[in-house]
Amino acid sequence: MAKSGILQVGPYPQWDEEPLNEAFAVHRYFEAEDKGALLAKVGPEVRGIATRGELGANRAMIEACPHLEIISVYGVGFDAVDLAACRERGIRVTNTPDVLTNDVADLGVAMMLCQSRGMIGAETWVKDGSWASKGLYPLKRRVWGRRAGVLGLGRIGFEVAKRLKGFDMEIAYSDVGPKSFAEGMEFIADPVKLAERSDFLFVTLAASADTRHIVGRDVIAALGAEGMLINISRASNIDEDALLEALESGALGSAALDVFEGEPKLNPRFLKLDNVLVQPHHASGTIETRKAMGKLVRDNLTAHFAGNPLPTPVL
């Protein structure tokens, strides 16, 4: 039986590459020098697309594959997939939720701790001899007992909140409505009001047209000169121009960011700031989780071509 043709948009770890190639006829889009020529050649053979959350699949790619049936996303975010084009043609879309939830929450909390306690600068202080020559490291801010806001109490937001309870923090959240499972947390519908009462604001929403720049000038101003913004969601949820202006002026105290517009080529203004912790979009970056994500990508493809229910459908 002939293998189903798959367009692989970006590279995966070797432990995923090998089984993907064993199960499917894989066309490696990311290795092609002339990507348009590759699509023109293999597009008619492609029945599935295996992509990553930040790479997605745009309308041009989808239209170049007339027999496309499914797009399987390695990641929880699917905003880079043209869902309208998929709906028009009845193309199925899947992602990899749940398996990465806890690791993403872990990194968000770690970023808060690292930035609030100045751990990157403190390590440099030791290694460059400043501790010996200049004495004690400048004082930083505590985390325990302070106020945290969670913007988007979905799977990841809820796991962040669970971890914050261990620091005896006062936790509030914003979402489309109150959540029955949010015991001990205050619901605040307005993101500006949430930011106003928070020392730390975690952004954990799914990205969509409705959430684009939901963290804009008003939210950032409300968080204020003592506040910290932590983003482990999508870059599009934050107005980066407003964020940079506030960080540069001191209107916002600090930020800890795992995602950026145009990544990995982020705005160089971020690199000049000492009140920003920058991370390379690796919140799900553990061996255990990445293996589970890769398996779920393949499981969705395999289920589809076998005519079985999809494990984690989006469309």
Catalytic machinery residues: 234, 263, 281
- The answer to whether the CB of 239 falls within 8 A of the CB of 213 is yes
d(CA 225, CA 219) in angstroms, rounded, equals 12
Tokens describing residue 157 = 């937001």
Within 8 A by CB and 6+ apart from 284, the residues are: 75, 76, 100, 103, 104, 290, 293
Distance CA 258, CA 108 (A): 9
Query: In DSSP terms, which residues pair with 7 in a beta bridge?
Result: 27, 49
- Do 247 and 272 touch, CB atoms closer than 8 A? no
CA 192-195-197 angle, to 5 degrees, is 115
CA 11, chain centre distance (Å): 18
Give strand pairing partners of 55.
none
* Dihedral sign for Cα atoms in the order 115, 117, 121, 123: negative
**CA separation for the pair 32, 163 (Å, rounded):** 43
**Contacts of 255 by beta carbon, 8 Å cutoff, 6+ apart:** 115, 228, 229, 230, 231, 243, 247, 275, 276, 277
Alpha carbon distances (Å) from 210 to 57, 189, 205, 237: 20, 15, 11, 9
Q: What is the spatial distance between Cα 25 and Cα 197, in angstroms, rounded to a whole number?
A: 53
